[in-house]
Amino acid sequence: MKLGWAAGRVFAKKGSGPVIIGKDTRISGYMFESALEAGLSAAGVDIRLLGPMPTPGIAFLTKNTRARGGIVISASHNPYYDNGIKFFSADGTKLPDDIELDIEKEIDQPMKSVQSRHLGKALRISDAARRYIEFCKSRFNSDIDLKNLKIVIDCAHGAAYHIAPKVFEELGAEVTTIGVEPDGLNINEECGALKPEMLRELVSETGADIGIALDGDADRLILVDHKGNLVDGDEALFIIARQRMDSLNGAVVGTQMSNLGLEKALQALGLDFLRSKVGDRYVMELLLKHDLKLGGESSGHIINLDLTSTGDGIISALQVLEVMVSSDKSLYELKSGMQKYPQKLKNIRLKSNIDMSEFPELAIAVREVEHELGDSGRVLLRPSGTEPLIRVMIEGEDEAQVDALVDSLASRVESVLQSNV
């Protein structure tokens, strides 16, 4: 409630209009929604409630309804017992740092309600889902349709359960669904982008052309080709980039975790590849800094900036489907233009976060592995941004070499940290 009040105080200085609130399907969303609504009202800001809505749908509707800002209640791919809160600016983008800092300052102040006659009012936008469905369809080439495609879509019992199937059905596809019966507790449970095994089985059983798995808030996707193979965010990014390379201003943005095979494949097309820190926020920063249009993460969070303002699993899937239809090629054929390098990741758990710059031995160990790999591989040693972990990642052309090197480097890192931490 206090966060809603603090955000409301800051948003109140940003022109007129309401603040909109949307959520995914986890049970605690009701509690968070009511508390945020009360806080915003106490700050004198009107509220518009969307109910269950994909995160990118909330970003779109924030801009579409001329709202001062948008709030998403979601923990994305996490289990139902987690939840979180994200904010969007009036433009449907993540809040800039200065506004976040202003909200933090307000949280430190004692909460005080405006006078009763100035309290914010709350209304529900009853046609929110239909507005977003039409927006998604408008991002698809109007000269083609999906009439000859069989699609299986897994909505992870999440925010897109009532939206994604309609988008693909109304564009003409034959759609089979899973993960569309949320009960507040089953979001992401053995389904969705992080657990696509059920989707792979159903694609094979039904003879579908493609499977699409969204996560709980539908801002990212994992695909399955007609042979049951997983197609991750790197491969989807390559497929989209190759089709649209003339409009990409010469470069695509990935992250430190993007596969080296993606970088090599894009360079072969004449496109530069820029790497950001891990996280869609950092991908967006590079896109804006260099006036670029397309970027994404291996996890399937893809940003098409000329189509929408944030990562969107449904719109990203539509871009891949558009390539399939216009080229008359299967997803399996389209992804074959990129050869993924073997990549191995190990996590080393710590008692607390550390500053890696204080351990020069780690930099030496990384340089030695890089020397052994030469130009045919890559090493990444980085702390997790969300928990006390050191991530050790190595990729290269030779899988056996990659396995041996990641084990060796992880052991060296553990040895250094155990003797110093």
Please identify every residue annotated as catalytic.
76
Q: Long-range pairs for 324-330 at CB < 8 Å and ≥24 separation?
A: 324/149, 324/209, 324/210, 325/144, 325/145, 325/146, 325/148, 325/149, 326/141, 326/144, 326/243, 327/243, 330/209, 330/225, 330/226
Three-state SS at 179: coil
Give CA–CA dist 53/72, Å, rounded: 9
Strand locations in 53-203, DSSP E? 69-73, 85-88, 122-124, 150-154, 174-178
The count of other CB atoms within 10 Å of the CB of residue 123 is: 10
CA distance 69 to 7: 9
Among 388, 321, 404, CA closest to 352: 388
Are 295 and 275 in contact by the 8 Å Cβ rule? The answer is no
Please answer whether residues 295 and 317 qualify as being in contact, where contact means their C-beta atoms are separated by less than 8 angstroms.
no
Cβ–Cβ contacts within 10 Å for residue 165, how many?
19
Whether 295 and 252 have beta carbons less than 8 Å apart is answered as yes
- The Cα–Cα gap between 321 and 407 comes to 39
